[in-house]
């Protein structure tokens, strides 16, 4: 049985329970909470240069308008320890009045999935009110891109690459494992605070391979492509309803990693390595970013925030402005957000074991 099918079945099995739970939450109290005159603090456990910053800064003014009382929504950045610093801080908070929310990303989810000893938080304690899908695009300098033969990356296998890496157990394991599968020699410069810092390394010539999540690619890399200093290599792709990897709807003209792998000698789209890569891609991208209320949140608070994000999505201009800033991906609330949370915070034991062993062999990172 494939890792994806196992993950998908577990996630889908939670839909009915999540829907029932949400129905209770949405009706509890009947009127929600009032935030008039208050300030909502939205914690982002990354630097202000990356995709999570762009995502939160996009939603913050819209959320302010949609919440009852139209409170001020302030995004607070709390980077450190591979995003576990901010997540551990949030774990210690108890719900008070609805003025504290947290924005998680795949780079927060992966240390949790892998049992990183720095993790002191538990997603089971948190109340999800929005889940945002996204994608990712890898890109190269033009002189490297010229060495590819169509989709075949074999021409890159003799080159030396430098990559700005946020950390071994972070979302960066998706691209680094993909590049290894393609046979590329990529040296990671570890410890950058956000993917925006990786892009800056690329721009300064300190790195010659990079990837950005869709929102950062749209705003930060598209100008480089237009200027001729960067060339898209591949996306990680998107999932269709059957769980197959297909082209990213935001970047339909860019091939997926699966397509490039299939065209490159010795890169396999089946077997243990591929299954592990796909499992962590699913955990990291289709529901990459989530908004949470802290443990102990009241039913009224959950219903209030859920309704606010529903109202944001219902705006007449939302499809246009979100596509331009975030890309064309699902923005999920209620039962759909609960299902997304389930798929983003669990992987099969086989996938976890493979990645834990790979991290030990590649980076000397011990998680056992």
Q: At residue 26, does pLDDT exceed 80?
A: no
Q: Which of 258, 283, 308 is the last residue of a domain?
A: 283
46, two tokens: 């990354």
User: Do 194 and 167 share a structural domain?
Assistant: yes
User: Do 255 and 185 share a structural domain?
Assistant: yes
Q: At residue 132, does pLDDT exceed 50?
A: yes
- Which residue range is the domain that position 167 belongs to? 136-283
Q: pLDDT of 286-298, one tens digit each?
A: 888 999 999 999 9
pTM: 0.82
Please name the residue that has the structure tokens 């923005």. Answer: 331
With left for phi above 0 and alpha for psi between -120 and 50, is residue 214 left, alpha or beta? alpha
Query: What CATH number is given to the structural domain containing 180?
Result: 3.40.190.10
Q: Collapse the DSSP code of 82 into the 3-class scheme (helix H, G, I; strand E, B; otherwise coil) and give the result.
A: helix
Confidence bin at 5 (pLDDT 50/70/90): very low
CA atoms within a 13 Å half-sphere pointing along the CA-CB vector of 164? 22
Q: Residue 220 falls within a domain, yes or no?
A: yes
Confidence bin at 368 (pLDDT 50/70/90): low
User: Do 170 and 195 share a structural domain?
Assistant: yes
CA distances from 27 to 21, 96, 121, 245, 300 (A): 10, 20, 29, 38, 8
User: Do 278 and 172 share a structural domain?
Assistant: yes
pLDDT for residue 122: 97
Do the Cβ atoms of 285 and 107 come closer than 8 Å? Answer: no
| Burial of residue 291 (number of CB atoms within 10 Å: 0-12, 13-18, 19+) | buried
For the chain, the domain total comes to: 2
- DSSP structure class, residue 94: B
Q: Collapse the DSSP code of 57 into the 3-class scheme (helix H, G, I; strand E, B; otherwise coil) and give the result.
A: helix
Query: What CATH number is given to the structural domain containing 29?
Result: 3.40.190.150
Please name the residue that has the structure tokens 């605070």. Answer: 193
Confidence bin at 45 (pLDDT 50/70/90): very high
Query: Alpha-carbon distance 368 to 365, whole Å?
Result: 9
35, two tokens: 């935030």
Please name the residue that has the structure tokens 């955990």. Answer: 283
- For 86, the enclosing helix (H) or strand (E) is helix 84-91
């Amino acid at each position: 049985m494939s890792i994806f099918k196992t993950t998908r079945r577990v996630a889908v099995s939670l839909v009915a329970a999540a829907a029932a739970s949400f129905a209770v939450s949405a009706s509890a109290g009947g009127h929600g909470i009032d935030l008039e005159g208050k300030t909502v603090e939205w914690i982002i456990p990354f630097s202000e240069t990356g995709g999570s910053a762009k995502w939160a800064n996009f939603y913050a003014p819209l959320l302010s308008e949609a919440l009852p009382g139209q409170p001020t929504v302030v995004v607070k950045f709390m980077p450190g320890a591979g995003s576990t610093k901010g997540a551990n801080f949030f774990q210690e908070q108890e719900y008070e009045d609805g003025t504290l929310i947290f924005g998680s990303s795949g780079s927060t989810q992966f240390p949790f999935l892998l049992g990183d000893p720095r993790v002191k938080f538990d997603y089971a304690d948190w109340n999800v009110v929005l889940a945002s899908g996204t994608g990712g695009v890898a890109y190269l300098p033009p002189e490297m891109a010229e060495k590819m033969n169509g989709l075949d990356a074999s021409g890159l296998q003799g080159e030396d690459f430098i990559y700005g890496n946020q950390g071994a157990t972070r979302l960066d394991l998706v691209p680094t494992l993909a590049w290894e599968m393609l046979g590329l020699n990529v040296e990671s410069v570890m410890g950058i605070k956000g993917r925006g810092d990786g892009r800056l390394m690329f721009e300064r010539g300190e790195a010659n391979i990079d990837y950005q999540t869709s929102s950062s690619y749209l705003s930060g890399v598209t100008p480089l492509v237009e200027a001729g200093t960067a060339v898209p290599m591949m996306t990680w792709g998107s999932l269709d309803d059957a769980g197959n990897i297909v082209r990213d709807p935001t970047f339909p003209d860019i091939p997926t990693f699966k397509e490039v792998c299939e065209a490159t000698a010795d890169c396999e789209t089946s077997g243990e390595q591929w299954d592990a890569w796909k499992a962590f891609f699913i955990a990291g991208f289709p529901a990459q970013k989530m908004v949470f209320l802290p443990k102990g949140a009241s039913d009224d608070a959950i219903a209030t925030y859920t309704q606010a994000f529903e109202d944001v999505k219902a705006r007449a201009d939302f499809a246009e402005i979100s596509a331009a800033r975030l890309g064309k991906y699902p923005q999920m609330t209620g039962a759909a957000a609960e299902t997304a949370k389930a798929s983003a915070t669990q992987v099969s034991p086989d996938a976890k074991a493979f990645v834990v062993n790979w991290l030990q062999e590649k980076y000397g990172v011990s998680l056992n």
